[in-house]
Structure formats: structure tokens, C-alpha cells
Structure 1
């Protein structure tokens, strides 16, 4: 039997981290991994999205056993992780963001859950902010995600109506969810072989939601109730922190383009068209509403319309991908 076959069997876990100019974050992440992980054998795979910096030298100097792969271009999250999965030698695989920190022996616990529960397709943990507080408003059902896309009045009547139109999945096990964040997602290569890898049409965002649907068809998706890790968030995406979030501009354009692609893939052309019709129809509504507010407050009619203009600009970006998304054409949906 070849020596590399024994090596593969001995590895309990392959940790895959995608790098884009975040060497210090990865050093901190790996320090927490090695400080808190015991009882299992792990390998670390880093896939670099053309950082064009000293990331490889910096990280491998500190952790020479890290296996390094270069994409050769900024391939985004799905394609880079798929390359890591392809080269993984562990009997389990963990997708781990570079901007995460472990606080305890979470990895061994997740491996044990997968070992002891063959009906579980994937496991994840709760996310803590940098100040170690549980991050609120993180979606775990497809319904929560879909409802967030609709811009409707914040009144009980409309919220209840939307919930009836887009309900949540109900599970007997409170730990079971529809999908798990790609910031920390552990599964088996055998499960990936049945479900397929991450959809490479996605550049960033939404790919873990879409993958969750396919993984969930292979077994239960578990969010361990008393398990958590720190997610600093947007480590390689500094421009996100400059994005002003308002009620009508809730997401960065890349996030929304990716989520619209997910809607099309999972729910079909009708659901996608309905959402796009909603956005296009909302353009004159948000302008007229703000102008009416200006009149009521005796302000110039066309004053303070920056938020509305930003919304119209976002919808124009969505429309750039309209035909490609409608016909679900393979591609690279990068804004």
C-alpha cells in the first residue's frame, strides 16, 4: 500500500483557508488553531487569490508545514476553496475564514460529531464578534435570507404577510439549520462528492447558502448550540466597512448580485423575476416617498435624495447581470 495512502487515513481534518492579502490574520488564526486543537491530526491548506505580496513567505516561515496553492488570479471564495478541497487529504474538510479565531478545542468536537452521526452532512458553530459577543441577526434559514431582500414597510401586517409568503423551515432538532456559514463549515469529502463542490459561478457571498441547499440534501446541517468561534469579519474586504447600510441599501452590490444568483438557482426563474420586479418597481416609490417627506417638512423637493440615487444605482448593477442570471448561465458573477 503506498505511503501516501497511510498518511491520508491518519489525517482527521484538512483545514482550508483562502488568502487575499491577509497574512497577519492567518498567522493569528493558525496560532489559535494550534493552541486549542488536540486529539486529532490536521493539515492546513492555504489557497492564495493572487495577493501579490509576501503572504506565502510570512506564513510558511511561521508554519512551514502549511501546504500552499496559488490560484494565479483573484478567483473568489468558491473556486479557491474547491481547489483546496481537491488537494485535501483529510477524512474531513473544514472551510475556515482567515479572519477567525478559535477559543477551545472546537475542531476535535466537530470531527467527533461527524464521526458519531453519519446522518449529519455538515457542522458549524456560532459566531462571536471581536468583543466576544454573540453576533446577532445571522441567518440560519433560507426564509430569513429571502425575507431580507424585500423592502416593505416595517409594520406587523406587512411583516406577517411576508412571513406567510416566505416561511422558515421547521425542524424537530433546534440545532438543525438550512445552511451554515462558509466562515466555519466542516463536512466530509464523501459528502462533497455526492453534493458537488461550491458553485464556481459565485465570486463572493451566497455560495455557502447555495451549497448549504445541496449539502442539506445529503443529511442534516447542524449548528452546534454551545460552540462558538470569533469572526472578525471582512478581513480581506476593507471597502465593505465603508458601505453605508440603510433600510433600502442593505447590502453591498456584490452581496446582492450573488444572492440573486442563489435565488435563481434554488427557487427558479419565477422567484428571481419577482424579486427583480420588486426592485425595479421600488425605484420610483422610494423617490416619491422621500419627495413627499421633503414637502411635509418644507424642504426643497429634490433635497437629500442620495440614498434613493444609491438604490437606483444598485438596481442598475443588478440589471447588468439580468439575462445571465435569468437563464442561469455559467460564468463569473463578479461586480
Structure 2
């Protein structure tokens, strides 16, 4: 089994990036690791070298998805079975990748798997989501208090699931996506029209049309999660442009497929919980 991983960086702190790369390199699984650097300089090349990662420098900064795609194409050409898309502000223990690849081996209908994701203080990040409609994104971003009080935030982020069971989720976070290579070959990688933001929702949706997209809470990772578009006007403009592209691609209000996928996901969560078979649990 061949496993590959790509991390895309843009002027990330070397200590942060080194921790992410070492987490991958320290895994029990042998992983072909790429650092794709969208920064203008090559200051991070030594960090990649120390972690045993291949270094790809893209100073023109083609965007998050396009940078990952460069590594994905090389990984697929080299015969990778699974490819991990990972943010540079993520770290985890050596049990994570082996447990997740074992689960994918046992469930060939899954195309995308995401683990439990925590803040550095140990609290949970609610990154399992329904496919968004325009109101979800607008009200959640600009009127978060109203969105939270209305109960729509809890529904959109599937809070009632408890985040304590394996479940099919329509939209998973791009901070840590373990993807089946055969599915990537079928659908392609990220849509490069999305420079930053929404590319993970779009990819989750395209994977979901041919395979299952699943949350696997039996292993956890830590994610810094800066919410940059809440603090930086340039990032906010990227987020808005990506949202416009997303709804222009999939539909604004008239999106019957979105309604169907979300309805099925919510209905599945109302059924009795399925126990996770012992063979699927990670070894302690």
C-alpha cells in the first residue's frame, strides 16, 4: 500500500510547519510527503528537507487547491493508493494514519475520510457540515449570534450527532482529508477556480457523488484553525469570491441535489447508532 501526503504552505512559521511534517514522517506508515510552498522565498525548503519531504516551490501562488493538485498528480503517477491533504497547522500522533488507512481498506465504498479534530486546548472543532446554502454562509459569517440562537448553526454543523460515531457527512474540512486515489483519478483533484476557501466543500461534494464521505472519530488530530477570513480583509474577499463561484457552479436557491444530500444525511443520523466493529477500532 502506498500513501502520499501534500501540505501547502504560504509563509507559515517554520516551527509550526515542522511539527506538521514531522507528524506525518513519524507515522507508522511509510508516506511519500510533499511540501508545496506558495511563498515568495524558499525559506521553508530546509524544513522540508529535515522532515524528508519533497519540496515544490510555487512563488506565483496559484492557490490552495492548485498547489495541492500538483502534488496529487505526482502522487497518482507514482501509484499512490491513498492521498492525505493536510493543512500546515495540524499535528497528530503516529496512530492516526495507520488507523484511517485500515478503515478505508475495510470499507472500499468510502472515498474520503476525516478524523476527530480538536483545538490546541483539546476542545472539539465542529467541522462536519451539511452542504451550504447562501443563507448559511451569509448569516453564519456576518450575524453569528443570530445564527447560533436560531439553532441553524447546530443543524448545519451536525451538533446533534454528538460527534462520537462514524457517520456519513456531506461536507468535510480540507484541513485533513484522507482520499482514496482511485476516486481522485475518477473525479480529478481540487477545482482550481477556487483560489482559497470552498474548495474543500466542492471536493467533498464531488467525491460524494461517486463514493461515501465519512467522519471517523476514533482517532484525533489537533488543528490550529485561525479563521483567517474573520480577521483579514483580503482573506474575507477570497472567501466571498469563492462562495460566489461555488453557488454559481452548483446552484443558488434551486439546488435539488443539495437538498436531497442534506436530507439523507440528517435522516441517517436519526436512526439508531451503529456500533463500530472491534476490527475497525484503532489499536491502543
Q: Give the Cα separation in 2 of the matches to 1:182 and 1:175.
A: 17
Q: Give the Cα separation in 2 of the matches to 1:191 and 1:242.
A: 35
1:229 to 204, 221, 229: 221
Secondary structure at 2:84's aligned position in 1? strand
Q: Following TM superposition, where does structure 1 have runs of at least 4 consecutive aligned residues deviating by more than 3 angstroms?
A: 143-146, 150-156, 239-244, 268-271
1:217 to 185, 199, 209: 209
Matched, 1:257 2:241: yes
Contact 2:10 2:38 in 1 (8 A): yes
Matched, 1:84 2:71: yes
Q: Give the Cα separation in 1 of the matches to 2:177 and 2:213.
A: 10
Q: 1:145 Cα shift? A: 7.8
Residues 146 and 45 (structure 1 numbering): CA distance in 2 closer, same or farther, change over 3 Å? Answer: farther
Matched, 1:27 2:18: yes
Secondary structure at 2:217's aligned position in 1? strand
TM-score, structure 2 normalization: 0.74
Q: How do 1:40-119 and structure 2 match up within 5 A?
A: 40-60=29-49, 62-63=50-51, 65-88=52-75, 89=78, 90-119=80-109
Q: How do 1:110-259 and structure 2 match up within 5 A?
A: 110-135=100-125, 137-143=126-132, 147-150=136-139, 154=146, 159=150, 175-234=167-226, 240=229, 242-243=231-232, 252-259=236-243
Q: Give the Cα separation in 2 of the matches to 1:44 and 1:145.
A: 36
Q: 1:51 Cα shift? A: 3.4
Residues 216 and 29 (structure 1 numbering): CA distance in 2 closer, same or farther, change over 3 Å? Answer: same
Q: 1:107 Cα shift? A: 0.5
Q: Give the Cα separation in 1 of the matches to 2:112 and 2:230.
A: 30
Contact 1:78 1:207 in 2 (8 A): yes
Contact 1:210 1:262 in 2 (8 A): yes
Alignment gaps of 5+ in structure 2: 256-284
Residue by residue over 1:87-119, the C-alpha shift from the partner in whole angstroms, topping out at 9 and shown as x without a partner, is: 113211000111100134111111112111111
- Backbone CA RMSD of aligned residues: 3.2
Q: Give the Cα separation in 2 of the matches to 1:104 and 1:93.
A: 16
TM-score, structure 1 normalization: 0.63
Q: 1:253 Cα shift? A: 2.7
Instruction: Kindly tell me the number of residue pairs found equivalent between the two proteins.
Output: 241
Secondary structure at 1:194's aligned position in 2? helix
Q: Give the Cα separation in 2 of the matches to 1:174 and 1:185.
A: 15
Residue by residue over 1:288-324, the C-alpha shift from the partner in whole angstroms, topping out at 9 and shown as x without a partner, is: xxxxxxxxxxxxxxxxxxxxxxxxxxxxxxxxxxxxx
Residue by residue over 1:44-67, the C-alpha shift from the partner in whole angstroms, topping out at 9 and shown as x without a partner, is: 11111133141112431x12x311
1:308 alignment partner in structure 2: none
Q: Give the Cα separation in 2 of the matches to 1:145 and 1:183.
A: 22
Alignment gaps of 5+ in structure 1: 1-10, 245-250, 272-335
Secondary structure at 1:149's aligned position in 2? helix
Contact 1:16 1:84 in 2 (8 A): yes
